[in-house]
C-alpha cells in the first residue's frame, strides 16, 4: 500500500492563535488539520480584551459579530497615582468601524473562534498531543499521541506545520530556535474576575499606582464585573497558590477604596512573569506564532491580540504559496514583518514594567508634578489610543512594501484606512472594508479630485492590463469623486466606487492627480504610486504572483 498523501497544514494548538490560523487557512481554501492536547476547552479567561485592529481582523475573517454582541465596549481608563486622580485615557476616537476595544474573557474568544471554524467546515481534534517533529526540504513529520485512544501513537506527514502551542512550544524546541529573555524577580501578580461594589462609578477601567502597588481594573460590563489585577512585592516567591477573595478584597481596599466589597469571584490566578522572544519565527517548513514566539508582561492586554495578528499575517501567505498563486519567497516576509513588530511589543512592555510596576523615584515625582498635564494633552491621548488599538503596526521595510509616493495618505506598509463609498451601478452604500472583504488583493485606482476623460481612459487600460493575468487574485476598483465626466459605469469592466464628497480620497491623501493603491489581503498597503508608475506596479505583481 502506498503512503497517504501529506496533509497540507498541521496546526498545533487550538487557543485563539491556532484557531485564527486554522480559520484563515480554511477561508482561503486550504485543507488544514488542527490538534489540541486538551480534552475540552478550559475555563481560563487570561486574555481579557480584544483591541480595535483585532476586531478589524475578525471582520476580515467574517467572525466579528459574536465579539461585538458579547464583548463590552471598553470606554477608557481613569488614572490615579499616589493618592490622587491624574486624568483618564479616553479610548473613543479611533478611525475604525470598531472604534472601541471589547473586553471578553479568553475562553469566550476561543468559543467564538471555534464556532466560526465549525461554520467553515472545520473541527478541532482534541486529546491529541504532538510529541516530536522532524522535517526535510519536502515535508514535515510529526509524531502524535491520541490520549483518548489508549495513548495510540501515529506519525503524520504534513507539507507545513504551524506551532501555536504556547510558550512551551514543541515546534520551537524541535526546530532549535532560541527563546531568550529575562525573568522578573521581586514582584508577583494576583488576578481575579469578580463583581465589585465600591464608591467609583462602574463602566470605565481604573488604574491605581502607589510606591509598592499597581492595581488595574478592566470593566467587563457597566454593572460592576471587573478583571482585577494587582502587582506587588513578592514576599514569598515559592507561593504558587491562587489568591483568595479576602486577599484580593484587602488589596482593593488598601489601594483604592477602604469600603470596597468583592463578590461572586469567577477565577483566581497568581503568577510571576518576564519576557522572551524567539530568534526567528520559521525553520524550513515549520512556523511558530503567538506565545510560541514571544511572551511578555500583560501591560495593555496585547499578547493574545499580537498572536492573532501573527496568524492573520501568515495564513494568507501560506495559502497563496500552497495554491501556487504566489512565489515561495512570500513566506520569508512572515518573520521579516512580524518579528520586528513583536520585538517592539516585548521592548515596550518591558519598559512599562520598569516604568509602572517598579517606578524609579524620578518617575514617581514626574507623575506627581506633570502627570495630569501630560495625560491631558491631545497628542498623548491619540498616541495611547492608537498604540493600544494596534493601529500603528506597519511594515514599511518589508519587501512587500513598495512606495512611489503620489499621495499624502498612507504609505506602503501602513494599515489601509476604511471609508464609506457607493458602488455602481447598483448604487449600494458600503464600507471600504466590506468592498475588500474576501481573499483577493484589492487595487484601488483613485481618479483624483478633478478626473478627466484622459485619466479615466488610462486607468481603464491599466485595469485591463492587470486583470488579464491576475484577475482571479485581484479585485480592481475605480474610485471616483465629484460627477463622472463620462458614463464610466457603463463601459468600465470592474467595480466603480463613488466618493462624491472626497472622504475616501482625503483619507488616502489623493489630490488632483490619480493614484494607485494596491491593498494586501490582510488590509495593509502593498504598493502606492501615481499614474506614471504603472510599469512598477506591473513588475511588483509579477514578483509576487506566479
Element (H, E) at 18: helix 16-27
DSSP class of residue 269 equals: E
Angle at 283 between CA 335 and CA 298, to 5 degrees: 50
CA atoms within 13 A on the CB side of 250: 7
Q: E-strand spans in 305-344?
A: none
Model pLDDT for residues 99-121, shown as the tens digit of each residue: 999 999 999 999 999 999 999 99
**Per-residue CA distances from 202 to 64, 196, 432 (Å):** 26, 9, 35
| pTM (two decimals) | 0.95
**Per-residue CA distances from 216 to 262, 300, 481 (Å):** 15, 10, 47
Give the pLDDT of residue 278.
98
Give the C-alpha separation, 16 to 11, whole Å. Answer: 12
Give the pLDDT of residue 489.
55
Main-chain dihedrals φ then ψ at residue 138, nearest 5 degrees: -110, -40
**Sheet (strand 179-183) strand order:** 179-183, 274-278, 294-295
Give the C-alpha separation, 310 to 450, whole Å. Answer: 40
Q: How many other CB atoms are there within 10 angstroms of residue 98's CB atom?
A: 24
* Domain positions in the chain: 1-48+105-178+277-338, 187-272, 402-544
Determine whether domain 187-272 maps to CATH 1.10.357.10: no
Chain center to CA of 297: 17
**Per-residue CA distances from 209 to 82, 126, 364, 393 (Å):** 6, 42, 9, 28
Contact yes or no for 540/402 (Cβ under 8 A): yes
Give the C-alpha separation, 402 to 452, whole Å. Answer: 27
The C-alpha torsion from 244 through 246 and 250 to 253, rounded to 10°, is: 120
Give the pLDDT of residue 436.
94
Give the SS3 label for residue 17. helix
Give the pLDDT of residue 364.
64
355's CB contacts (< 8 A; 6+ apart) are 363
Contact yes or no for 536/402 (Cβ under 8 A): yes
Give the pLDDT of residue 412.
98
CB-count burial class (<10 Å; 0-12, 13-18, 19+) for 69 = exposed
Q: How many separate helices (H) and strands (E) can be counted in the chain?
A: 15, 29
* Sign of the dihedral through C-alpha 70, 111, 217, 267: positive
Contact yes or no for 193/161 (Cβ under 8 A): no
539's CB contacts (< 8 A; 6+ apart) are none
Q: What does the block give as the cell for 451?
A: 478626473
**Grid cell 498541521 — which residue?**
10
DSSP character string of 199-231: SSPSSSEEEEE-SS-EEEEEESSSSSEEEEEEE
Contact yes or no for 172/292 (Cβ under 8 A): yes
Give the SS3 label for residue 546. coil
**Per-residue tens of pLDDT for the chain, all 546 residues:** 345 678 999 999 999 999 999 999 999 999 999 999 999 887 778 899 999 999 999 999 999 999 999 999 999 999 998 888 989 999 998 999 999 999 999 999 999 999 999 999 999 999 999 999 999 999 999 999 999 999 999 999 999 999 999 999 999 999 999 999 999 999 999 999 999 999 999 999 999 999 889 999 999 999 999 999 999 999 999 999 999 999 999 999 999 999 999 999 999 999 999 999 999 999 999 999 999 999 999 888 899 999 999 999 999 999 999 999 999 999 999 999 999 999 999 999 988 887 777 666 666 667 666 667 878 888 989 998 999 999 999 999 999 999 999 999 999 999 999 999 999 888 899 999 999 988 999 999 999 988 888 888 999 999 999 998 988 899 999 999 876 555 555 556 668 999 999 999 999 999 999 999 999 999 999 999 999 999 999 999 999 998
Task: Please provide the CATH number assigned to the domain covering 402-544.
Answer: 3.40.30.10
Give the pLDDT of residue 356.
75
Give the pLDDT of residue 132.
95
CA nearest 12: which of 140, 148, 151, 120? 140
With left for phi above 0 and alpha for psi between -120 and 50, is residue 82 left, alpha or beta? left
CA nearest 480: which of 460, 505, 509? 505
CATH superfamily entry for domain 1-48+105-178+277-338: FAD/NAD(P)-binding domain (3.50.50.60)
Give the C-alpha separation, 60 to 312, whole Å. Answer: 10
Amino acid at each position: 500500500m502506498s503512503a497517504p498523501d501529506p496533509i497540507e497544514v498541521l496546526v498545533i494548538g487550538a487557543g485563539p492563535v491556532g484557531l485564527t490560523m486554522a480559520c484563515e487557512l480554511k477561508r482561503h481554501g486550504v485543507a488544514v488539520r488542527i490538534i489540541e492536547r486538551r480534552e475540552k476547552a478550559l475555563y481560563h479567561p487570561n486574555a481579557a480584551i480584544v483591541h480595535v485592529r483585532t476586531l478589524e481582523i475578525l471582520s476580515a475573517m467574517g467572525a466579528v459579530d459574536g465579539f461585538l454582541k458579547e464583548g463590552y465596549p471598553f470606554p477608557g481608563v481613569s488614572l490615579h497615582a499616589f493618592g490622587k486622580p491624574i486624568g483618564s485615557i479616553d479610548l473613543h476616537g479611533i478611525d475604525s468601524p470598531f472604534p472601541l476595544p471589547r473586553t471578553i474573557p479568553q475562553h469566550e474568544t476561543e468559543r467564538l473562534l471555534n464556532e466560526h471554524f465549525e461554520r467553515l467546515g472545520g473541527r478541532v481534534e482534541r486529546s491529541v498531543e504532538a510529541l516530536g517533529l522532524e522535517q526535510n526540504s519536502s515535508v514535515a513529520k510529526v509524531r502524535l499521541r491520541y490520549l483518548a485512544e489508549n495513548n495510540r501513537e501515529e506519525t503524520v506527514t504534513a507539507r507545513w506545520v504551524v506551532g501555536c502551542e504556547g510558550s512551551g512550544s514543541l515546534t520551537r524546541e524541535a526546530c532549535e530556535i532560541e527563546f531568550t529573555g529575562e525573568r522578573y524577580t521581586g514582584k508577583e501578580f494576583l488576578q481575579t474576575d469578580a463583581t465589585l461594589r465600591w464608591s467609583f462609578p462602574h463602566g470605565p477601567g481604573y488604574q491605581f499606582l502607589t510606591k509598592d502597588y499597581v492595581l488595574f481594573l478592566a470593566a467587563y460590563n457597566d454593572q460592576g464585573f471587573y478583571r482585577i489585577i494587582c502587582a506587588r512585592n513578592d514576599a514569598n516567591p515559592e507561593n504558587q497558590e491562587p489568591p483568595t477573595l479576602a486577599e484580593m478584597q484587602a488589596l482593593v481596599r488598601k489601594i483604592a477604596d477602604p469600603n470596597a466589597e468583592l463578590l461572586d469571584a469567577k477565577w483566581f490566578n497568581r503568577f510571576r512573569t518576564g519576557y522572551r522572544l524567539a530568534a526567528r519565527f520559521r525553520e524550513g517548513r515549520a512556523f511558530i506564532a503567538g506565545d510560541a514566539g514571544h511572551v511578555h508582561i500583560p501591560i495593555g492586554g496585547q499578547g493574545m491580540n499580537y498572536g492573532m495578528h501573527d496568524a492573520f499575517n501568515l495564513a494568507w501567505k501560506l495559502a497563496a504559496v500552497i495554491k501556487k498563486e504566489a512565489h515561495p519567497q512570500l513566506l520569508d516576509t512572515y518573520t521579516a514583518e512580524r518579528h520586528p513588530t513583536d520585538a517592539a511589543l516585548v521592548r515596550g512592555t518591558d519598559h512599562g514594567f520598569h516604568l509602572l510596576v517598579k517606578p524609579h523615584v524620578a518617575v514617581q515625582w514626574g507623575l506627581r508634578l506633570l502627570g495630569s498635564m501630560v495625560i491631558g494633552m491631545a497628542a498623548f491621548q491619540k498616541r495611547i489610543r492608537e498604540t493600544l488599538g494596534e493601529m500603528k503596526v506597519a511594515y514599511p521595510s518589508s519587501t512587500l512594501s513598495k512606495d512611489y509616493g503620489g499621495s499624502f495618505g498612507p504609505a506602503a506598509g501602513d494599515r489601509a484606512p476604511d471609508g464609506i463609498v457607493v458602488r455602481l451601478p447598483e448604487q449600494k452604500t458600503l464600507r471600504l472594508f466590506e468592498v475588500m472583504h474576501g481573499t483577493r488583493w484589492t487595487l484601488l485606482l483613485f481618479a483624483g479630485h478633478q478626473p478627466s476623460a484622459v485619466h479615466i481612459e488610462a486607468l481603464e487600460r491599466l485595469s485591463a492590463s492587470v486583470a488579464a493575468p491576475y484577475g482571479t487574485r485581484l479585485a480592481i476598483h475605480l474610485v471616483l469623486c465629484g460627477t463622472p465626466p463620462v458614463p464610466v459605469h457603463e463601459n468600465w469592466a470592474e467595480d466603480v466606487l463613488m466618493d462624491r464628497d472626497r472622504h475616501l480620497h482625503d483619507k488616502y491623501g489623493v489630490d488632483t492627480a490619480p493614484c494607485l493603491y494596491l491593498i494586501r489581503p490582510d488590509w495593509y498597503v502593498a504598493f502606492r504610486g501615481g499614474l506614471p508608475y504603472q510599469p512598477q506596479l506591473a513588475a511588483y505583481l509579477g514578483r509576487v504572483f506566479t
